[in-house]
Amino acid sequence: MYQIKIDLIDNSNITADKYSDAELVKNLPGFENKYTTVNRIKLRYVDGGNGKPLICLPGWPQTWYSLQPIAMQLAKQYRVVIVDLRGMGTSEKPESGYDKKTMAKDIHQLVLHLGFDKVSLMGHDIGGMVAMSFAFNFPESTEKLIVLDGSHPSEGMYQMPLIPSPGTFNEKMDSEMPYAWWMGFNQVKGLPEQLLEGKFHLLQEWLFNYVMIDESKMKELERAVYAAAYDDKDSIRASNAWYQTFHQYIEDAKHYQRLTMPVLGIGSYISYNYMNYGLPFVATDLQVVGITDSGHYLFEEKPQEVLDIVLPFLAS
């Protein structure tokens, strides 16, 4: 039986701002906007639905709102908890603690705080890395694991090109020779926040066009929400720190045991082949599925296809 522990709903950020958490959660009837302090930081999350718990972790450069296209359907069968990671949205943005093991500990303490014994986790992008770290470090608390376009970093990252191969850097990302220059840019400390403060939407708009097949599926409201969430120096610093700790995650992963719980990997046209190759090295009970007519932001481009894969996996 799953215990239920309820945090007080934090209404302190209710404003007329249509991009505020308090306004946005109104687009998810039945979900509540909450804060709690775990692992010595304040985390924000939204909570809705009934059933076994499903912890959802978003990626860069998004927030909890990235689950909006599928959250209501998931909540018909599961208790859905969507968390803004350390450094994301209105969760706290400390100076340190952005290695994935520490971020996984944040989530584990939230799980314990909510009174859950075991949970399933679903993470996209950076959230997928944190979800995998949770499963590696807290297997006894992990029922099932779902990662979308974001499994754990490997030493292969050290071989990523400084300059793209001729003919591969075009309007859309090349799935055979992907050029993710922002991973290098985000390694730089101090400069990105000076360049991007108040102008983050310029990077975001370019990125959505580059890694999505149909960028129109990222609606204007969503774009505005994420631009606002990453437009200040602290938010840019904190989100870049997720990338600056990849080397620590790579070292940590060398000491992890293979995952034995059921694992589902879902890849877009960009990542499916890489996930299909890499995940068997770290998981024994594994399915890898491609949605290869979608770009990186799978929830927005192909929400029904994601649900058609995720719901049977969770129910099996």
Which residue type is seen at 199?
K
Q: Where are the domains of the chain?
A: 21-315
> Which candidate, 4, 117, 101, 110, places its Cα nearest to that of 64?
110
Cβ(265)–Cβ(239) below 8 Å = no
Cα separation, 71 vs 69, in Å, equals: 6
> Which candidate, 241, 236, 201, places its Cα nearest to that of 218?
201
Q: What is the pLDDT along the chain (316 residues), one digit of tens a residue?
A: 444 444 544 443 433 488 999 999 999 999 999 999 999 999 999 999 999 999 999 999 999 999 999 999 999 999 999 999 999 999 999 999 999 999 999 999 999 999 999 999 999 999 999 999 999 999 999 999 999 998 778 888 898 999 999 999 999 999 999 999 999 999 999 999 999 999 999 999 999 999 999 999 999 999 999 999 999 999 999 999 999 999 999 999 999 999 999 999 999 999 999 999 999 999 999 999 999 999 999 999 999 999 999 999 999 9
C-alpha to C-alpha distances, 249 to 26, 102, 104, 107, 127, nearest whole angstrom: 36, 10, 11, 16, 13
Q: pTM for the full model?
A: 0.94
The class (CATH top level) of 21-315 is alpha beta
* Total residue count of the chain as it appears in this document: 316
Name residues whose C-beta falls within 8 Å of residue 16's C-beta, 6 or more positions apart in sequence.
none
